[in-house]
């Protein structure tokens, strides 16, 4: 008996159990079962991380090992990267459960059942080694996500966010399935290693491989909120219940990018070898666009949760750059960034949830000054804002360092600036909100934010609002502490580095799955240096200055006004394309596939 | 965004997408024998004593996919109930009073007799399809949906109250959870008794004289799926039906 | 490519699927669209049957041609009634 | 024949997306999404098909009879369930949107503008 199915099967079983017994169990017991389940998954996944550093696990469901080297069953291929991601997923789910201990009334146990199934879907996505199985977990994750997003169905916002989320993500999933079917027609296999081996030997550099790649990748990039597939994210995250936002921003979106990376390295890397440079260009373009659009969107919001959502988009751009470099060091950087960013962002969403709980609003202007009564939340949020800038010793600082290191090696140093701008805009926006809400600073000039949506929100809790129960702020505190602590651990950074090397080792993966032999290339010892130490501090300083200027725009006089006009110029088209209308999003989706696919084909031809 | 702009964006994209799709199609092999499919077709009967290769793939070789699929159904039903819950929880009592008791449509006795007379055969037909999954086309999923339409016939023939009694939500919810959980538990039995999750550890039965019990765990999983799908679709249909009827009451 | 009876059958059912799908999309009234959806589902089931996929055909009949259109109809009935009531209310307000 | 089926699949994807872009009713939009999904069924069944082969049900035929690909059929079964359930979820959302906002026109639902 092996533990490999545990992270998926046990949460599913627990969800079924909670639903079956929902009439009988008291709320606290339900909470307890849910917490214990996610904690046990966390333990098992940490165990996987520990074991797989030497030997990744290949697990054939039903015992259907390959026949004559051809896989007829479904496999989980658990390597350090997948296991680590699954562990991170369960950690955040645990945090979300603790946070929701005193949180909104649960309808029997349905909320917990949804969250547990969500957990299982995300773990399955991280661990699977089969293309169609990946699609199944992706859909499971989306279905649970949509239901959780619209959970507060008595309000208008969550419903609209959920439908935008559901429609765009389902459309993306079908496109991915189309790509998977195209691959199946050529290779007659669904196992990633088998498909990859077959493509590399039979059809290297064939056009249809490029098209299948763009289809599959576009589908998952919808989840990963890449421009121009990102629209749903801001809508859904702005309105989803806070514990759900923790998971959406903290890890679900990142899993979309993980799926692209996993599929690229297992299935396509061999066959697309001749086009590697073009693929790199494509993902760098996507990453830069996403980082900038997200940053602009973030700074122009007044609705705190929507602001944080746009910040996630911007950071997804940075992670896409990290993946897109197709370099092990940069991939390790992206992975570290996922950890650091996920924890900080989760903590910030918790702060937003606490504000919503106490003051019935997450609107920057409505909340001006009222935060003085919640100074601990203010401190948490300030730390989070600084962390978002990538200030040294936060997880994302190490991530950014690694990515920038790789950029310098490839002679693309100018992209450092994009990462810096992303940090300045997102951290500046959060600092601005922090200063206005918790310090009461800032001129009362709401016209600045003219055009930004003001979505009505209701409290998510019952009971007295003037105290914040410890179960709410503790997860935020722990996550922030972990974000600093975890990244400082050198063994962990080395482990991620070697995980990234293993993930990119195409041959090693195929030998492992198809022949059952461990034969990974040796991982070169990476020397760590942090070229961006001072730059990150500078980023935080500029972010603070930008926030101050946004609070007191009048201080710079007429020159300042002119500058405001320059800064606001990109806002008009920005607001025009973020229309909140599902028809527009679908049009952008189709256009995006054609544009990126066309780029890939024309450059490759 | 203005509508013409949206349409233009889409048309440009659609032409591009069509070209991409077309290029992919042009390079696809025409009719050919698939290696994966042939292996399964050849193996399913000797290995698993299952005559319907599709059922063998669904519930055995790729049974883990189907577990995920069952839970997609499970969670969508839960999600739909959560989304439509106003009628379920908060306003339940008021609305139950408000629903005008009585017939669904003004039926004649002939209609009633016919619809009620159909209920029995529908159930028998559904059960037949469920349990013959590994022998003939059909299985837990197809039969389950057929079974889920039986309560609707009761609604058409009788009244909403009888329908309500038949589809009494907590009971069906529990049944659904048992179906979905049962699938996982059968998998876990294989995990504990053999060594792999979803391993086929039950006796396979006589290969040459297949019955509804041949195939080891497959008939069991099939049954669990049937239960889950029946309950799931019943819940979905009754949730939507209640939405429609609940409103009729208070207008 | 030989044009035997089977091929002709396959081609015509594919044509039917394409046409039915197009009509479903182009029908703007959701009620008639649901009827179209049911027909489209049946055509797909027929296609699966002709393409030697009886398991899938059976699923498609029960889901695509029955259960799904039924759900759509029920949802539409709810929405339509709501619309009707809103119009009624509007009418009353205008009168008073 | 296969290529005609593949062409139909591509057509259904594009026409379904067209319907979604131009939709003025959320239920219509949801049905168009279903049409997009059916394109994946057609694609999969075309990939699995072989002329002259029978269905992969060996109840009363011998194992040596050429049969079509059983794996894609299993994938399609999964796909159909996904379609129905996702559609149910979206329809539930739409019913609720109608109750709260009083409209089912996706172009009037723009709380999230900007």
Residue D15 lies in a domain: yes
Q: How many domains does chain D have?
A: 1
Query: pLDDT-based confidence at A9, cuts 50/70/90?
Result: very high
Cis (ω within 30 of 0) for the bond into A447?
no
Q: What is the pLDDT of residues C52-70, one digit of tens each?
A: 888 899 999 988 888 899 8
Computed over every residue of chain A, the mean pLDDT equals 88
Residue boundaries of the structural domains of chain B: 48-250
Rounded to 5°, the CA angle B237-B118-C59 comes to 50
List all residues of chain D from 52 to 71 with a beta carbon under 8 Å from chain C: 53-57, 67-68
Q: Which residue has the higher pLDDT, C84 or D17?
A: D17
Q: How many residues comprise chain B?
A: 251
Instruction: State the helix-helix crossing angle for A328-359 and A490-503, rounded to 10 degrees.
Output: 120
Return d(Cα D35, Cα C26) in angstroms, integer: 11
Is pLDDT at B143 greater than 50 in this prediction? yes
Q: What is the pLDDT of residues A523-543, one digit of tens each?
A: 777 777 776 788 888 888 898
Query: pLDDT-based confidence at A448, cuts 50/70/90?
Result: low
- C72 contacts D45? CB cut-off 8 A: no
Q: How many angstroms from the chain centroid is the CA of residue C78?
A: 18
Query: pLDDT-based confidence at B87, cuts 50/70/90?
Result: very low
- What value does the mean pLDDT take over residues A108-124? 91
Helices (H) and strands (E) in chain D, counts: 3, 0
Nearest CA to A336 out of A144, A489, A560, A442 is that of A489
Q: What is the pLDDT of residues D61-73, one digit of tens each?
A: 777 777 888 899 9
CATH code for position D8: 1.10.287.3510
Q: Which residue has the higher pLDDT, A93 or B116?
A: A93
pLDDT score at A330: 92
Taking CA–CA distances from A152, the nearest residue in chain D reads: D96
Residues in B closer than 8 angstroms to C62, CB to CB, are: 142, 145-146, 149
Is pLDDT at A204 greater than 70 in this prediction? yes
Computed over every residue of chain B, the mean pLDDT equals 80
- A117 contacts B197? CB cut-off 8 A: no
Is pLDDT at A1 greater than 70 in this prediction? no
| Selection from A101-115, A130-144, A570-584, B56-70 with the highest mean pLDDT | A130-144
Is pLDDT at A498 greater than 80 in this prediction? yes
Residue boundaries of the structural domains of chain A: 153-516+528-604
pLDDT score at B69: 93
Residue D47 lies in a domain: yes
Taking CA–CA distances from C73, the nearest residue in chain D reads: D27
Query: pLDDT-based confidence at C45, cuts 50/70/90?
Result: very high
pLDDT score at B107: 60
Residues in A closer than 8 angstroms to D45, CB to CB, are: none
Which residues lie below 8 Å from residue B179, measured CB to CB, with a gap of 6+? B70, B224, B225, B226, B227, B228, B229, B230, B231, B232
pLDDT score at B89: 46
Is pLDDT at B88 greater than 60 in this prediction? no
Query: pLDDT-based confidence at A90, cuts 50/70/90?
Result: very high
Subunits with 3+ C-beta pairs closer than 8 A to A: B, D
- C70 contacts B247? CB cut-off 8 A: no
List all residues of chain B from 108 to 147 with a beta carbon under 8 Å from chain A: none
Residues in A closer than 8 angstroms to D97, CB to CB, are: 156, 159-160, 163
Q: For residue A258, what are its two tokens?
A: 């993980």
B137 interface with C at CB cutoff 8 Å? yes
Residue D112 lies in a domain: no
B110 interface with D at CB cutoff 8 Å? no
Is pLDDT at B101 greater than 60 in this prediction? no
pLDDT score at A462: 60
- What value does the mean pLDDT take over residues A226-252? 91
Residues in B closer than 8 angstroms to C81, CB to CB, are: 244, 247-248, 251
Long-range contacts made by residues A551-557, C-beta under 8 angstroms, separation at least 24?
A551/A432, A551/A435, A551/A436, A551/A441, A551/A442, A551/A443, A552/A441, A552/A442, A552/A443, A553/A443, A553/A445, A553/A448, A554/A443
Q: What is the pLDDT of residues D84-102, one digit of tens each?
A: 999 999 999 999 888 888 8
Q: How far is B116 from chain A (nearest CA, A)?
A: 30
Nearest CA to A97 out of A352, A475, A360, A464 is that of A475
The gap between the terminal CA atoms of chain A, to the nearest Å, is: 50
Which residues lie below 8 Å from residue A590, measured CB to CB, with a gap of 6+? B9, B10, B13, B14, B17, D17, D21
Q: How far is D25 from chain A (nearest CA, A)?
A: 11
Taking CA–CA distances from C32, the nearest residue in chain D reads: D28
B22 interface with A at CB cutoff 8 Å? no
Kind and range of the H or E run holding A429: helix A415-434
pLDDT score at B251: 37
B149 interface with D at CB cutoff 8 Å? no
Residue D87 lies in a domain: yes
Query: pLDDT-based confidence at A295, cuts 50/70/90?
Result: very high
- D37 contacts A184? CB cut-off 8 A: no
C-alpha radius of gyration, chain D, whole number: 19
pLDDT score at A445: 59
Is pLDDT at B93 greater than 50 in this prediction? no
Is pLDDT at B176 greater than 70 in this prediction? yes
| Selection from A134-138, A385-389, A406-410, A412-416 with the highest mean pLDDT | A134-138
Cβ pairs B/D, distance under 8 A: 142
Return d(Cα A345, Cα A313) in angstroms, integer: 12
Q: How far is B145 from chain C (nearest CA, A)?
A: 6
| Selection from A300-309, A590-599, B214-223 with the highest mean pLDDT | A590-599
Return d(Cα A60, Cα A2) in angstroms, integer: 11
- What value does the mean pLDDT take over residues A99-125? 85
Residue D107 lies in a domain: no
- What value does the mean pLDDT take over residues A91-113? 83
- What value does the mean pLDDT take over residues A212-227? 93
Question: pTM to 2 decimals?
Answer: 0.94
Is pLDDT at B249 greater than 50 in this prediction? no
Q: Which residue has the higher pLDDT, B76 or A202?
A: B76
Taking CA–CA distances from C64, the nearest residue in chain B reads: B145
Residue boundaries of the structural domains of chain C: 5-95
Taking CA–CA distances from B4, the nearest residue in chain D reads: D22
Which residues lie below 8 Å from residue C45, measured CB to CB, with a gap of 6+? C57, C58, C60, C61, C64, C65
- What value does the mean pLDDT take over residues D27-45? 93
pLDDT score at B73: 93
- B43 contacts A117? CB cut-off 8 A: no
Regarding chains C and A, contact by 3 or more CB pairs under 8 A is answered as no
Query: Is residue D57 classed as helix, strand or coil in its secondary structure?
Result: strand
Return d(Cα B20, Cα A276) in angstroms, integer: 19
Is pLDDT at B76 greater than 60 in this prediction? yes
Subunits with 3+ C-beta pairs closer than 8 A to C: B, D
Q: For residue B140, what are its two tokens?
A: 């837990």
Which residues lie below 8 Å from residue D82, measured CB to CB, with a gap of 6+? A136, A139, B69, B72, D37
- What value does the mean pLDDT take over residues A334-342? 92
Nearest CA to B239 out of A187, C70, A378 is that of C70
Range of the domain at D72: 2-54+66-101
- B145 contacts C78? CB cut-off 8 A: no
Is pLDDT at A179 greater than 90 in this prediction? yes
Q: What is the pLDDT of residues A566-596, one digit of tens each?
A: 777 888 888 888 888 899 999 999 999 999 9
List all residues of chain D from 70 to 99 with a beta carbon under 8 Å from chain C: 73, 76-77, 80-81, 83-84, 87-88, 91-92, 94-95, 98-99
- What value does the mean pLDDT take over residues C4-33? 90
Query: pLDDT-based confidence at A59, cuts 50/70/90?
Result: very high
Q: What is the pLDDT of residues A418-437, one digit of tens each?
A: 999 999 999 999 999 999 98
C35 interface with D at CB cutoff 8 Å? no
In a 10 Å sphere around its CB, with 0-12 CB exposed, 13-18 middle and 19+ buried, how is residue A281 labelled? Answer: middle
pLDDT score at A483: 87
Question: What is the 3 state secondary structure string of A141-176?
Answer: HHHHHHHHHCCCCCCHHHHHHHHHHHHHHHHHHHHH
Is pLDDT at A466 greater than 70 in this prediction? no
């Amino acid at each position: 008996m092996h533990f490999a199915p545990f992270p998926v099967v046990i949460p599913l079983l627990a969800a079924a159990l909670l639903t079956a017994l929902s009439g009988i169990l008291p709320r606290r017991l339900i909470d307890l079962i849910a917490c214990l389940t996610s904690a046990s998954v966390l333990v098992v996944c940490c165990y996987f991380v520990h074991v797989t550093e030497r030997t990744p696990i290949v697990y054939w469901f039903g015992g259907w090992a390959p026949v004559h080297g051809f896989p007829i069953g479904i496999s989980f291929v658990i390597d350090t990267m997948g296991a680590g991601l699954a562990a991170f997923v369960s950690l955040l789910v645990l945090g979300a459960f603790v946070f929701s201990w005193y949180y909104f009334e649960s309808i029997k146990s349905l909320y917990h059942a949804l969250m547990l199934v969500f957990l299982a879907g995300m773990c399955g996505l991280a661990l699977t080694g089969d293309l169609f199985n990946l699609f199944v977990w992706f859909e499971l994750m989306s279905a649970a996500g949509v239901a959780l997003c619209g959970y507060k169905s008595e309000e208008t916002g969550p419903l609209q966010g959920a439908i935008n989320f559901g429609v765009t993500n389902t459309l993306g999933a079908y496109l991915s399935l189309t790509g998977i079917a195209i691959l199946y027609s050529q290779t007659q296999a669904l196992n990633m290693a088998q498909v990859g081996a077959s493509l590399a030997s039979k059809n290297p550099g064939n056009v249809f491989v490029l098209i299948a790649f763009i289809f599959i990748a576009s589908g998952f990039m919808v989840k990963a909120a890449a421009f121009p597939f990102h629209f749903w994210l801001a809508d859904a995250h702005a309105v989803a219940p806070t514990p759900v936002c923790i998971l959406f921003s903290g890890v679900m979106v990142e899993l979309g990018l993980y799926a692209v990376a996993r599929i690229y390295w297992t299935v396509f890397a061999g066959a697309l070898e001749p086009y590697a440079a073009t693929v790199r260009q494509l993902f760098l373009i996507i990453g830069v666009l996403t980082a900038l659009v997200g940053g602009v969107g973030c700074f122009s919001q007044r609705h705190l949760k929507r602001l944080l959502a746009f910040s996630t988009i911007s950071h997804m751009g940075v992670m896409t750059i990290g993946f897109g470099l197709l370099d092990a060091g940069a991939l390790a950087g992206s992975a570290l960034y996922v950890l650091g960013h996920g924890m900080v962002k989760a903590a910030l969403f918790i702060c937003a949830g606490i504000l919503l709980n106490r003051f019935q609003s997450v609107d920057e202007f409505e909340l001006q000054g009222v935060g003085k009564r919640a100074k601990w939340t203010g401190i948490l949020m300030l730390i989070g804002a600084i962390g978002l800038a990538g200030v040294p010793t936060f997880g994302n600082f190490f991530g950014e360092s690694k990515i920038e290191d790789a950029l310098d090696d490839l002679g693309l140093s100018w992209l450092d600036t994009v990462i810096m701008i992303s940090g300045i805009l997102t951290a500046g926006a959060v600092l601005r909100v922090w200063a206005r809400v918790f310090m009461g600073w800032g001129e009362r000039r709401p016209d600045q934010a003219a055009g930004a949506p003001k979505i009505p929100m209701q409290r998510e809790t019952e009971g007295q609002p003037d105290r914040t129960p410890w179960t709410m702020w503790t997860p935020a505190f722990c996550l922030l502490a972990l974000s600093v602590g975890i990244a400082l651990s050198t063994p962990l950074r080395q482990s991620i580095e070697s995980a990234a090397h293993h993930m990119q080792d195409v041959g090693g993966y195929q030998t492992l799955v198809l022949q059952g032999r461990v034969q990974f290339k040796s991982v070169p010892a990476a020397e760590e240096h942090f070229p961006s130490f001072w730059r990150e501090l500078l980023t935080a300083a500029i972010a603070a200055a930008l926030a101050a200027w946004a609070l007191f725009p009048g201080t710079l006089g007429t020159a300042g006004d002119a500058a405001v006009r320059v800064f606001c110029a990109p806002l008009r088209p920005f607001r025009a394309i973020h229309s909140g209308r599902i028809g527009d999003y679908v049009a952008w989706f189709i256009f995006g596939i054609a544009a990126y696919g066309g780029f890939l084909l024309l450059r490759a031809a | 965004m203005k509508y013409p702009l949206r349409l233009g964006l889409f048309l440009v994209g659609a032409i591009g997408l069509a070209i991409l799709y077309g290029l992919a199609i042009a390079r696809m092999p025409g009719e050919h024998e698939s290696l994966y499919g042939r292996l399964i077709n050849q193996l399913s009967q000797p290995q698993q004593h299952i005559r319907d290769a599709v059922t063998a793939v669904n519930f055995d070789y790729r049974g883990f996919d189907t577990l995920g699929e069952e839970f997609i159904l499970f969670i969508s039903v839960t999600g739909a109930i959560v989304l439509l819950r106003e009628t379920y929880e908060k306003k339940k009592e008021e609305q139950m009073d408000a629903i005008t008791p009585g017939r669904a449509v003004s039926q004649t006795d002939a209609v009633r007799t016919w619809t009620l007379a159909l209920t029995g055969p529908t159930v028998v037909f559904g059960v037949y399809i469920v349990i013959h999954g590994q022998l003939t086309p059909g299985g837990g999923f197809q039969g389950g949906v057929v079974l889920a339409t039986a309560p609707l016939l009761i609604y058409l023939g009788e009244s909403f109250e009888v329908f309500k009694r038949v589809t009494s939500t907590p009971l069906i919810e529990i049944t659904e959870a048992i179906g979905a959980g049962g699938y996982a538990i059968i998998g876990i039995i294989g995990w504990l008794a053999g060594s792999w999750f979803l391993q086929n550890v039950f006796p396979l039965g006589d290969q040459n004289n297949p019955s509804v019990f041949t195939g080891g765990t497959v008939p069991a999983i099939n049954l669990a799926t049937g239960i889950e799908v029946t309950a799931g679709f019943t819940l979905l249909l009754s949730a939507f039906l209640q939405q429609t009827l609940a409103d009729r009451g208070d207008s | 490519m030989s044009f035997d009876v089977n091929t002709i059958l396959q081609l015509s059912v594919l044509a039917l699927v394409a046409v039915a799908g197009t009509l479903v999309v182009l029908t703007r009234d959701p009620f008639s669209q649901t009827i179209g959806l049911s027909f489209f589902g049946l055509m797909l089931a027929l296609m699966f049957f002709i393409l030697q996929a009886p398991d899938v055909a059976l699923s498609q009949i029960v889901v695509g041609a029955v259960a799904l259109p039924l759900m759509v109809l029920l949802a539409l009935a709810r929405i339509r009634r709501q619309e009707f009531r809103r119009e009624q209310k509007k009418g009353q307000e205008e009168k008073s | 024949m296969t290529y005609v089926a593949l062409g139909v699949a591509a057509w259904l994807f594009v026409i379904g997306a067209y319907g979604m872009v131009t939709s003025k009713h959320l239920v219509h939009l949801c049905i168009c999404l279903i049409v997009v999904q059916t394109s994946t069924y057609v694609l999969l069944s075309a990939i699995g098909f072989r002329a002259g082969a029978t269905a992969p049900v060996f109840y009363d035929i011998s194992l040596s009879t050429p049969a079509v690909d059983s794996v894609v059929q299993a994938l399609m079964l999964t796909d159909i369930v996904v379609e129905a359930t996702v559609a149910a979820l979206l329809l539930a959302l739409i019913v609720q949107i109608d109750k709260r906002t009083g409209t089912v026109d996706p172009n009037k639902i723009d709380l999230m503008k900007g």
